[in-house]
Amino acid sequence: MSNLVDCPYCEYENDVSDSHQDPSNNKFDFECGSCEKEFEVEVEYNPNYSASEIVWVKCQSCGTETREPYSKGRIHPFPKFIVHDCICEKCWKEAYVKELELKRVVQDES
Protein backbone atom coordinates (compact mmCIF):
# COMPACT_ATOMS: atom_id res chain seq x y z
CA MET A 1 0.00 0.00 0.00
CA SER A 2 1.30 3.39 -0.95
CA ASN A 3 1.36 6.07 1.71
CA LEU A 4 2.49 8.76 -0.65
CA VAL A 5 0.10 11.59 -1.34
CA ASP A 6 0.65 14.32 -3.86
CA CYS A 7 0.20 17.79 -2.44
CA PRO A 8 -2.78 19.39 -4.21
CA TYR A 9 -1.00 22.73 -4.34
CA CYS A 10 2.53 21.98 -5.41
CA GLU A 11 2.38 18.24 -6.23
CA TYR A 12 5.15 17.41 -3.82
CA GLU A 13 4.97 13.76 -2.76
CA ASN A 14 4.31 13.53 0.97
CA ASP A 15 4.71 10.39 3.00
CA VAL A 16 1.66 10.41 5.26
CA SER A 17 2.06 6.95 6.76
CA ASP A 18 2.90 8.21 10.25
CA SER A 19 0.16 10.81 10.33
CA HIS A 20 -2.84 8.57 10.21
CA GLN A 21 -3.17 7.42 13.78
CA ASP A 22 -6.91 7.38 14.30
CA PRO A 23 -8.35 4.38 12.51
CA SER A 24 -11.95 5.48 13.17
CA ASN A 25 -11.37 8.65 11.23
CA ASN A 26 -10.34 8.28 7.63
CA LYS A 27 -9.67 11.96 7.09
CA PHE A 28 -6.94 14.09 8.53
CA ASP A 29 -5.12 17.30 7.82
CA PHE A 30 -1.57 17.20 6.68
CA GLU A 31 0.96 19.91 6.15
CA CYS A 32 2.87 19.67 2.94
CA GLY A 33 6.55 19.09 3.49
CA SER A 34 7.41 21.37 0.60
CA CYS A 35 5.04 24.35 0.41
CA GLU A 36 3.81 23.98 4.02
CA LYS A 37 0.17 24.44 3.13
CA GLU A 38 -2.35 22.21 4.81
CA PHE A 39 -4.47 19.83 2.85
CA GLU A 40 -6.94 17.16 3.70
CA VAL A 41 -6.05 13.54 3.26
CA GLU A 42 -8.68 10.91 2.90
CA VAL A 43 -7.64 7.35 3.54
CA GLU A 44 -9.11 4.83 1.23
CA TYR A 45 -9.35 1.31 2.36
CA ASN A 46 -9.57 -1.34 -0.24
CA PRO A 47 -10.09 -4.59 1.53
CA ASN A 48 -9.42 -7.58 -0.55
CA TYR A 49 -11.43 -10.66 -0.05
CA SER A 50 -11.10 -13.69 -2.14
CA ALA A 51 -13.39 -16.61 -2.02
CA SER A 52 -12.85 -20.11 -3.09
CA GLU A 53 -14.85 -23.27 -2.87
CA ILE A 54 -14.17 -25.72 -0.12
CA VAL A 55 -13.04 -28.81 -1.84
CA TRP A 56 -12.68 -32.02 -0.01
CA VAL A 57 -10.22 -34.34 -1.59
CA LYS A 58 -9.84 -37.95 -0.77
CA CYS A 59 -6.33 -39.05 0.06
CA GLN A 60 -5.35 -41.60 -2.56
CA SER A 61 -3.28 -43.46 -0.03
CA CYS A 62 -5.41 -43.82 3.09
CA GLY A 63 -8.80 -42.51 1.95
CA THR A 64 -9.05 -39.67 4.47
CA GLU A 65 -10.91 -36.61 3.25
CA THR A 66 -8.73 -33.53 3.43
CA ARG A 67 -9.20 -29.88 2.61
CA GLU A 68 -5.53 -29.36 2.09
CA PRO A 69 -4.28 -32.13 -0.06
CA TYR A 70 -0.62 -32.55 -0.77
CA SER A 71 -0.46 -32.98 -4.47
CA LYS A 72 2.39 -33.74 -6.78
CA GLY A 73 3.76 -30.65 -8.49
CA ARG A 74 2.42 -28.35 -5.82
CA ILE A 75 4.27 -29.65 -2.80
CA HIS A 76 8.04 -29.72 -2.65
CA PRO A 77 9.64 -31.93 -1.79
CA PHE A 78 7.28 -34.62 -2.84
CA PRO A 79 8.71 -38.00 -1.87
CA LYS A 80 9.66 -39.79 -5.06
CA PHE A 81 8.42 -43.21 -4.13
CA ILE A 82 4.83 -42.06 -3.60
CA VAL A 83 2.78 -43.55 -6.37
CA HIS A 84 -0.23 -41.33 -5.70
CA ASP A 85 -0.71 -37.80 -6.98
CA CYS A 86 -2.76 -36.51 -4.13
CA ILE A 87 -2.42 -37.46 -0.49
CA CYS A 88 -3.26 -36.11 2.94
CA GLU A 89 -0.85 -34.32 5.20
CA LYS A 90 -0.39 -37.32 7.43
CA CYS A 91 0.57 -39.60 4.56
CA TRP A 92 2.88 -36.98 3.14
CA LYS A 93 4.67 -36.55 6.46
CA GLU A 94 5.06 -40.28 6.87
CA ALA A 95 6.41 -40.62 3.37
CA TYR A 96 8.72 -37.67 3.83
CA VAL A 97 10.21 -39.11 7.01
CA LYS A 98 10.58 -42.43 5.27
CA GLU A 99 12.39 -40.86 2.34
CA LEU A 100 14.79 -39.10 4.68
CA GLU A 101 15.52 -42.43 6.34
CA LEU A 102 16.09 -44.09 2.99
CA LYS A 103 18.53 -41.35 2.00
CA ARG A 104 20.40 -41.82 5.25
CA VAL A 105 20.70 -45.54 4.64
CA VAL A 106 22.08 -44.91 1.16
CA GLN A 107 24.62 -42.44 2.55
CA ASP A 108 25.70 -44.84 5.27
CA GLU A 109 26.34 -47.56 2.74
CA SER A 110 28.55 -45.48 0.52
User: Under the rule (CB under 5 A), what is the footprint of Zn ion?
Assistant: 7, 9-10, 12, 32, 34-35, 59, 61-62, 64, 88, 91
Locate all alpha helices (DSSP H) within 1-110, ordered by sequence: 89-109
∠ Cα 94 102 81 (to 5°): 60
Burial class of residue 70, CB neighbours in 10 A (0-12, 13-18, 19+)? buried
∠ Cα 66 68 73 (to 5°): 120
**Pick 2 or 24: Cβ nearer Zn ion:** 2
**Pick 20 or 39: Cβ nearer Zn ion:** 39
**What's the closest the beta carbon of residue 41 comes to Zn ion, in angstroms?**
12
**Pick 3 or 104: Cβ nearer Zn ion:** 3
**What's the closest the beta carbon of residue 86 comes to Zn ion, in angstroms?**
9
Exposure of 63 in the CB half-sphere (CA atoms within 13 A): 0
**Pick 85 or 104: Cβ nearer Zn ion:** 85
**What's the closest the beta carbon of residue 42 comes to Zn ion, in angstroms?**
17
